[in-house]
Chains A and B, each alone.
Chain A
């Protein structure tokens, strides 16, 4: 087996108008299409697995696979993919995961209904000695449930999608992942059991908690979600009150699937806010940080921001003052404590689109105009760093493309344009049940039947 799954974008079609000449809608359309195309180029059609990055030899990431499953309906609705192809691709993934080995063997695909973070593109077995990942499994499952809601006809294949998705969801043992503790553990390895990474504070895990609370089979304990929110910090920073988390992506990932407009848990109720509004404020805080630019990095400003978990330069170079510039490679960059080495992520800015459409677009247009190198074939690189410019003044740009970036960009543009992913997931009974069990009330949650179930 030596098939290559390369996601090098088809070279930008010559003769098309340049991006800066486009109006907002057409610009978003171009970027979104290129992002969606990642999933037709970087996947293994036989098992539906998606490459983590477009780099040579990249393994599959289950979270990226979850994004792929969520993006097929978008591609269909936009006319970029036939419903039949989307169905085909979704079924390939669902069938693979349904049949994959679930055991505590070190080379299985998953265990207790969860899956390893990275899988071999061909065999689907665990790669490296990566962890069984709870959050990444949640994003994979969210993708499957998106497919479950989209493929809603009586056709046998579409019914298969729904049955497989339910089966895969229902066998996840979320309760086991608490390991007897008050909150969900983040990972597990057959070699050493549960991992203990500090995972305190607000982060991207609401979708994990909601799915875990919604399971009729293996739900987390009643107090689990609340126990996690007790680690939250509500902070006033740069004049904004918000539920603090440093890296921008934290304010996006769960929001790709969950429409947080108007629904509140106990914490947000107390703070008279909601998670949607909170992500808007997080974008403002990020932008304000870049405007203040405490470390004096090149390019930063009101239209160039976005510190997030992303690729970055790792080989040291001297900056203009002759000082060695500390570089952090791939890391979770955040505001206001960094680490900050002058690297920003355009996909993270674009993913703020539903929350702050104007600022996100303004930032994106500015960055595209100033640093066109970060776009190849209409697809955004993970990050760029104008402080590390070459002799022609071109910024350092992350190599290739990351599936997570393409996924979040495609979904958030769609949520902004039509709200399709949100609409689909609003009718998912497991998510609805989970949000309610986690204490969410109000808004659209009041209008769905209490226990919708097909």
Chain B
């Protein structure tokens, strides 16, 4: 065992967060004889479900064993994006001269301690929104403690039995630790404790090139660490399309990250404070020396200790709680939403699914998860955002696809900002204007994907989208450029000839 796990400073900021998210003197309420809905887990899914049910007048209990806000607020979206903001600024400062701006000392390293402090302050500030007090004020019975099913219609929390008409499992997921010999012995970081760091590890190795691995590798590199990013596949973000993954790989390399694609880690050894990570690519063996390892490839559903068998809820280790398209588990009283059961693990997806589950559970709705149009974004620089189908999915389903591609270098604002890297690809059903999906790679792709999501959700095709006027100059004009391309390609020779004839007459 090498270094001890990082420990979070117990300052005023952290006390404030605890006060909001898990007050130390908390006393669970007297339970109602039977709840319309019991929600297990107070992450984005659980909170959204409890609020929706309470707003509709249902008697609802919300159970949380740790902190309200779940992964998203405490160890996920919020802290990571706060750090990424600082990291992006560091990269901009490094680029300052190119823009004719000047920084007094370009070589001064970022102040990691301050960056983490800022992140903690922001996290505590956002904790206020979903604080215990506010949830109770909105009519929710909030229980702290470990939940455990006692039967098909009841569960126990902190020694108290709760009976329910319906229940929602929203217990999220935790990082999966790869079975690498020596990893456990030498110690590693996951998203659960990396945000507790107060000093920057000088050399860091990130295992796994999915969204979290790429985001954190780039952030820590920009904050001054020497980062190696190891991925056992040929490209990062295997789910995204090849061009997006390739552009990201180029961007990460440009930042100075040592990229190890197609590398499998075989062992980790510790010696003093140093860790030696051994890997193999085809038949080339190599060893990288680092001070810290960040891991957590993939997720495992948080179901241990829930006694799901007693509730007759089926579950499997790889994909979590088994649900149908209505988010109902094998027990018709019990639903699930969020990371515990969904393939796409995002806060907004968890919340949207939870609302859908509440409507199905309490109000006999028949809404389908597959009908939701859910975008997502990897917050690297450039960002990689996607909504809807990928081309390969459409191909597999036999839907003919045509993609309108606009490189960002075609967009004035991207040129003005010197942010020419990236593209928008809008996939439409061939010979129609129906949008099937889109991928945007751009510095602020996450913001840009929302317009396309809006279009898809409201059934606007490229023809209608063409009429949307975009403010000039904005990077979102890339969408207008795609509709222009659509119009140009629709204007067949025949139509053009007819237009010319008409013009000649006037």
Q: Do A and B come from one complex?
A: yes
What are the residues of chain A within 8 A of B489 when measuring CB–CB? 236, 239, 241
A323 and B407: CB pair below 8 A?
no
Q: Which residue of B lies closest to A190 (CB)?
A: B283
Binds B, one of A68-76, A193-201, A414-422: A193-201
**0/1 interface trace, chain A 191-228, chain B, CB 8 Å (1 if under):** 11001111011000000000000000000000000000
B242 and A201 contact, CB distance less than 8 A: yes
Report chain B residues within 8 Å CB of A195: 262, 282
Expressed in whole angstroms, the minimum distance between the Cβ of B470 and any Cβ of chain A is: 19
Is the beta-carbon distance between A336 and B396 smaller than 8 angstroms?
no
Complex CA distance for A192 and B280, rounded to whole angstroms: 10
**What are 18 A-B residue pairs whose CB atoms fall within 8 Å in the complex?**
A189-B283, A192-B280, A192-B283, A196-B233, A196-B262, A198-B233, A198-B235, A231-B392, A233-B403, A236-B402, A239-B488, A270-B430, A271-B430, A294-B407, A323-B98, A336-B409, A336-B423, A337-B243
CA–CA, A295 and B418, complex, Å: 10
Q: Does A197 contact B262, Cβ atoms closer than 8 Å?
A: yes
Which B228-253 residues have a C-beta within 8 angstroms of A?
A: 233-235, 241-243, 246-247, 250
Judge if A12 is at the interface, Cβ distance under 8 Å.
no
Given contacts A241-B402, A337-B243, contact A230 B233 (CB under 8 A): no
Does A232 lie at the interface of the complex (its beta carbon under 8 Å from any beta carbon of B)?
Answer: yes
Q: Check A123 for interface membership: any CB of B closer than 8 A.
A: no
Within 8 A of A (CB), among B456-479: none
The answer to whether A78 has its CB under 8 Å from any CB of chain B is no
Q: Are A292 and B242 in contact (CB under 8 A)?
A: no
With A195-B282, A230-B396, A270-B400 as given contacts, are A239 and B409 in contact (CB-CB < 8 Å)? no
Count the A-B residue pairs with Cβ separation under 8 angstroms: how many?
Answer: 84
Residues of A within 8 A of B396 (CB): 230
When the two chains form their complex, are residues B402 and A129 in contact, meaning their CB atoms are under 8 A apart?
no
A338–B243 Cα gap in the complex (Å)?
Answer: 10
Cα–Cα, bound, A323→B94 (Å): 13
Complex-state Cα separation, A197 to B405, whole angstroms: 25
Tell me if B425 is interfacial: C-beta within 8 Å of chain A: yes
A residues near B262, Cβ cutoff 8 Å: 195-197
In order of increasing CB-CB distance, the 10 nearest A-B pairs are A294-B409, A191-B283, A198-B234, A230-B395, A235-B403, A336-B407, A237-B405, A235-B405, A197-B234, A236-B404
Whether A83 is near chain B, meaning CB under 8 Å from some CB there, is no
Chain A interfacial residues counted at CB < 8 A: 34
Q: How far is the CB of B476 from chain A (nearest CB, A)?
A: 19
CB A1 to nearest CB in B, in angstroms, measures: 28
Give which listed residue, A131, A189, A230, A294, contacts B420 with CB less than 8 A: A294
CA distance A262 to B246 in the complex (A): 34
Interface set of B (CB-CB < 8 Å, partner A): 98, 233-235, 241-243, 246-247, 250, 254, 262, 280, 282-283, 391-392, 395-396, 400-405, 407, 409-410, 420, 423, 425, 430, 485-486, 488-489
Residue of B nearest to A191 (CB): B283
Residue in B247, B395, B402, B485 whose CB lies within 8 Å of A337: B247
Q: Is A200 within 8 A of B283, CB to CB?
A: no
Nearest-CB residue, chain A, relative to B264: A192
CB distance from B66 to the nearest CB of A (A): 39
Distance in Å from the Cβ of A90 to the closest Cβ of chain B? 33
* Interface membership of A169, Cβ < 8 A: no
A326 CA / B251 CA spacing, docked (Å): 12
CB-CB nearest in chain B for A339: B250
Q: Shortest distance in angstroms between B157's beta carbon and chain A's nearest beta carbon?
A: 47
CB nearest neighbor in A for B422: A337
Cα distance, A236 to B430, chains bound together (Å): 11
Taking CB atoms, residues of chain A closer than 8 Å to B283 are: 129, 189, 191-192
Within A284-342, the residues touching B (CB, 8 Å) are: 292, 294-295, 323, 326, 336-339
A192 touches B282 (CB 8 A): yes
CB interface residues, A 326-369, toward B, < 8 Å: 326, 336-339
- Closest B residue to A233 by beta carbon equals B391
Across-interface contacts of A294 in B (CB, < 8 A): 407, 409-410, 420
Instruction: Verify A234–B430 contact, CB threshold 8 A.
Output: yes
Q: Which residues of B contact A323 (CB under 8 A)?
A: 98
Q: Does A260 contact B (CB under 8 A)?
A: no
Instruction: Give A452 to B97 CA distance when docked, in angstroms.
Output: 68
Minimum CB–CB distance from B170 to chain A (whole Å) comes to 35
Q: What chain B residues lie within 8 Å of A197 (beta carbons)?
A: 234, 262
Nearest residue, chain A, Cβ from B232: A196
Bound together, the chains give a CA A230 to CA B392 distance in angstroms of: 6
* Bound-state Cα–Cα, A198 to B233, Å: 8
- Taking CB atoms, residues of chain B closer than 8 Å to A234 are 401-403, 430
Taking the closest CB of chain B, its distance from the CB of A186, in whole angstroms, is: 10
A206 to chain B, nearest CB (A): 17
Are A198 and B242 in contact, with the CB atoms below 8 A? yes
B98 nearest CB neighbor, chain A only = A323
Q: From residue 151 to 197 of chain A, which have CB atoms closer than 8 A to chain B?
A: 189, 191-192, 195-197
Q: Which of A230, A236, A326 contacts B485 (CB 8 A)?
A: A236
Residues of A within 8 A of B402 (CB): 234-236, 241
Q: For residue B403, which residues in chain A have a CB less than 8 angstroms away from its CB?
A: 233-236, 244
Contact A200 B425 (CB under 8 A): no
Q: Which residues of B contact A326 (CB under 8 A)?
A: 254
Using A234-B430, A236-B403 as known contacts, say yes or no to A337 and B246 having CB atoms under 8 A apart: yes
Cα distance A313–B420 in the bound complex, in angstroms: 23
> CA A192 – CA B246 in complex, angstroms?
25
- Give min CB distance, A403 to chain B, whole Å: 25
Cα distance A129–B285 in the bound complex, in angstroms: 13
In the docked arrangement, what's the CA distance between A239 and B481, Å? 11
Looking at A195, A198, A236, which has the most chain B CB atoms within 10 Å of its CB?
A236
In angstroms, Cα B22 to Cα A453, docked, is 80
CA distance A232 to B489 in the complex (A): 20
Residues in A neighbouring B407, C-beta threshold 8 A: 237, 294, 336-337
Please measure, in the bound complex, the distance between the C-alpha atom of A142 and the C-alpha atom of B25, giving whole angstroms. 79
- Give chain A nearest CB distance to B395 CB in angstroms: 4
Residues of A close to B242: CB separation below 8 A: 198, 200-201
Give the docked Cα–Cα distance between A200 and B420 (Å): 25
Q: A129-B283, A233-B241, A235-B405 are in contact. List 9 more A-B contacts (CB 8 A).
A: A191-B283, A192-B283, A196-B233, A198-B235, A231-B395, A234-B403, A236-B404, A323-B98, A339-B250
Whole-angstrom CA separation of A258 from B30 in the bound complex: 79
From known contacts A196-B262, A270-B400, infer whether A292 and B430 are also in contact, taking CB-CB under 8 Å: no
Q: In the bound complex, how far is the Cα of B405 from the Cα of A38, in angstroms?
A: 40
Name the residue in A195, A237, A246, A295 with the highest tally of chain B Cβ atoms < 10 Å from its Cβ: A237
- What residues of chain A lie closer than 8 Å to B233, measured between beta carbons? 196, 198
User: Which residues of the partner chain A approach B423 to less than 8 Å between Cβ atoms?
Assistant: 336-337
CB distance from A107 to the nearest CB of B (A): 14
| Nearest A residue to B486, CB-CB | A236
The answer to whether A235 and B425 touch (CB under 8 A), given A192-B283, A196-B262, A337-B407, is yes
User: By CB atoms of chain B within 10 A, which of A129, A231, A295 has the most?
Assistant: A231
Name the CB-closest residue of B to A332. B246
**A191 CA to B280 CA in the complex, in Å?**
11
Q: How far is the CA of A294 from the CA of B409 in the complex (A)?
A: 6
Residues of A within 8 A of B247 (CB): 337
Chain B positions within 8 Å of A201 at CB level: 242
Nearest B residue (CB) for A106: B283
A192 to B283, CA, bound (A): 6
Q: Considering the complex, give the chain B residue whose CB is closest to the CB of A240.
A: B489
Q: Give the complex CA separation of A246 and B407 in angstroms.
A: 13
A139 to chain B, nearest CB (A): 22
Q: Smallest distance from the beta carbon of B281 to chain A beta carbons, Å?
A: 9
Query: Hey, which chain A residues are within 8 Å of B405, CB to CB?
Result: 235-237, 244, 336
Complex contacts, B392 vs chain A, CB 8 Å: 200, 230-231
Query: Of residues B423, B430, B485, which shows the largest number of chain A Cβ atoms within 10 Å of its Cβ?
Result: B485
Complex Cα spacing A422 to B243, Å: 33
What are the residues of chain A within 8 A of B486 when measuring CB–CB? 236
8 Å CB interface, A122-157 against B: 129, 131
Q: What residues on A are CB-neighbors of B250 within 8 Å?
A: 338-339
- Nearest-neighbour CB distance to chain B for A205, whole angstroms, equals 15
Is the CB–CB distance between A189 and B391 below 8 Å? no
